[in-house]
Amino acid sequence: MKLALVLPGGVDRSGEFRVIPAFLALIERLARKHDVHVFVLHQEPAPNRWELVGAQIHNIGDGWTRLRAIAAIRAEHRRSPFDLVHAIFSGSCSFIAVTAAKLLGLPSVVHIAGGELVALHEIGYGGRRKWKGRLREALILRGADVVTAASAPIIDSLNTLGLEATRVPLGVDLHTWPPLAPRRRLAKQAQLIHVASINRVKDQPTLLRALAVLAREGLEFQLDIVGVDTLQGEMQALADQLGLQEHIRFLGFKTQRELRPLMEAADLLVMSSMHEAGPLVLLEAAVTGVPAVGTAVGHLAEWQPSAALAVPAGDSAAMAKAIRCVLEDEALRLRLAGEAQCRAVQEDADCTARLFEALYQQLRKA
């Protein structure tokens, strides 16, 4: 088959920086069997084209991006016809994919991978905050032949809107991120890790306030925060204000190769997001044998209580209690790690590719 994938970004020509590992893993697997063309909206400011993991990358660039992306898909279709168009993320990506598919008489797939279905007005986040966004999503998602999402909470949100959807988790590439068996804690000081961009939706203040409670109670811990800082030092200032200077390292962005040893050294992943469709880092931690405590979103909501501990979003007291619970019960920590790893390994990148390919074949026969 010839496939058109529409992505917002995550496919930098370096293959290492400004990439989304789950995207690369999926593209590489699809490209083994199919002719894959990725239409990426904003990887670089200017239009360009390159090859990556066996696929052709068409960078659309800035300025009239949606119209030019549709035109680019149609132009490539004239050179050699596509079999279907697949958007990962809704919003602009789904608009482009579904519109292009309709114009070309092709089936379309839309995968919900972010905040397309939420309205978090207090932080200005989500695709349903304004009536235009709600109308666009209603029309576009109903125009897609298949809608998928990574986790059960997103499927439930789609069902609430009257949309049928199929669960397809974006899994970990076990070749580049191999499994490591859960390990017993050896040091008294707990090693925690948080991997996420520092931004409003990841809600690091809830995590920091939970850790401040634990520090006052005398818990010995060190936290590594890995991710790009989009808030210009706000979280570092809050950490200082809460007296956490000696407990936290802000490490900034790390490549997958740089992240791996940090993850292997961790006893617990901690996540405080107000919304997640996944997240992939939970799966990466699980594959590495590291359990998680976090807010009840995405896979964390699916996995609790047997493969993760989850608390209500924004509840720092509950998060502090859950972190302490796991760190003070080694048998529980190892049980969570083992069950989480089983789930993450079963739904790896190979599984993701198989599930999408099965959907493609169904659409092709329809």
Query: By the 8 A CB rule, do 122 and 144 touch?
Result: no
pLDDT digits (tens, 9 = 90+) for 268-307: 999 999 999 999 999 999 999 999 999 999 999 999 999 9
Tell me how far CA of residue 129 lies from CA of 122, 126, 134, 144, 295, in angstroms.
10, 6, 7, 22, 22
Across residues 330-348, what is the average pLDDT? 98
Burial 254-287 (b: 16+ CB within 10 A, else e): beeeebbebbeebbbbbbbbbbbbbbbbbbbbbb
> Measured between alpha carbons, how far is 314 from 282 in angstroms, rounded to an integer?
19
pLDDT digits (tens, 9 = 90+) for 239-258: 999 999 999 999 999 999 99
Q: 130 pLDDT exceeds 90?
A: no
Q: What pLDDT score was predicted for residue 133?
A: 77
For the chain, list the domains and their CATH numbers.
2-171+348-365 (3.40.50.2000), 190-346 (3.40.50.2000)
As a 3-state breakdown, the chain gives helix, strand, coil percent values, each rounded to 5, of 45, 20, 40
Q: What pLDDT score was predicted for residue 309?
A: 98
